[in-house]
Amino acid sequence: MRLSARELHCVRGGRTVFASLTFSVASGEALCVTGRNGAGKSSLLRQIAGLVRIAQGSISLEDGNPDLSIAEQSHYLGHLDALKTSLTVRENLSFWTRYLGGREGDVDTALAMVELDDLAELSAGYLSAGQRRRLSIARLVAVKRPVWLLDEPTSTLDAAAQLRFATLMHDHLSGGGMILAAVHGPIGLTAAGTLQLGEAA
């Protein structure tokens, strides 16, 4: 499986964010997207996720499921954690698991892998920022999708949680998955390639 972008352009608010961007990522590979604020790191991930219009160029997923869009074969983890504070930790993950087409039986396993199983019945409104991020990461584990799109995924994680997440990322890659991560520093992907975006438009 290979995710490729060819001559990709991004325009936001009438301004060109980046242009003529070409890259590819294969199964088992990770690509860290770097660049100063405003260079288009988040916009690129959102284009792949189908959340931002492609002004020009193309994105393709070779050897993926032809019956599904790229977005339907991707997990997008953005800056905001999409949680409903009135629901418990388990109820939040159960909702996302059902919505994304996963199996209810994988919910408790995913919570244990991010060490939130002891808080499963707690209202999500009481979670710290790091715990909220770990609950969002649990979606990646509960529902298997080959492409992970991660936007500064470790920004609220403590050192121990960062190490656990690094293990999850390496397990995903070892299983043939791929990762594109917008980063400002190391996130534990030691063998990742780098895609440097230019200055802000």
Mind listing the pLDDT tens digit for each residue in 33-84?
A: 999 988 999 999 999 999 999 999 999 999 999 999 999 999 999 998 889 9
Q: For 13-29, how does the pLDDT look when each residue is reduced to its tens digit (9 = 90+)?
A: 889 999 999 999 999 99
Q: For 93-111, how does the pLDDT look when each residue is reduced to its tens digit (9 = 90+)?
A: 999 999 999 999 999 999 9
Whether residue 187 is predicted with pLDDT greater than 50 in this model: the reply is yes
Q: Where are the beta strands (DSSP E) in the chain?
A: 2-12, 15-26, 30-34, 56-62, 74-77, 147-151, 178-182, 193-196
Q: Show the DSSP H helices in 68-158 as ranges.
A: 89-99, 107-113, 129-142
SS3 state at 200: coil
Q: For 137-151, how does the pLDDT look when each residue is reduced to its tens digit (9 = 90+)?
A: 999 999 999 999 999
Please name the residue that has the structure tokens 């930790």. 89
Whole-number pLDDT of residue 112: 97
Whether residue 200 is predicted with pLDDT greater than 50 in this model: the reply is no
Distances (CA, A) of 176 to 30, 88, 138: 11, 32, 19
Whether residue 167 is predicted with pLDDT greater than 60 in this model: the reply is yes
Other C-beta atoms lying within 10 Å of the C-beta of residue 104: 11
CATH 3.40.50.300 fits 2-82+139-192, yes or no: yes
Whether residue 201 is predicted with pLDDT greater than 70 in this model: the reply is no
Whole-number pLDDT of residue 199: 59
Euclidean distance between CA atoms 153 and 133, whole angstroms: 8
Euclidean distance between CA atoms 91 and 110, whole angstroms: 13
Whether residue 163 is predicted with pLDDT greater than 70 in this model: the reply is yes
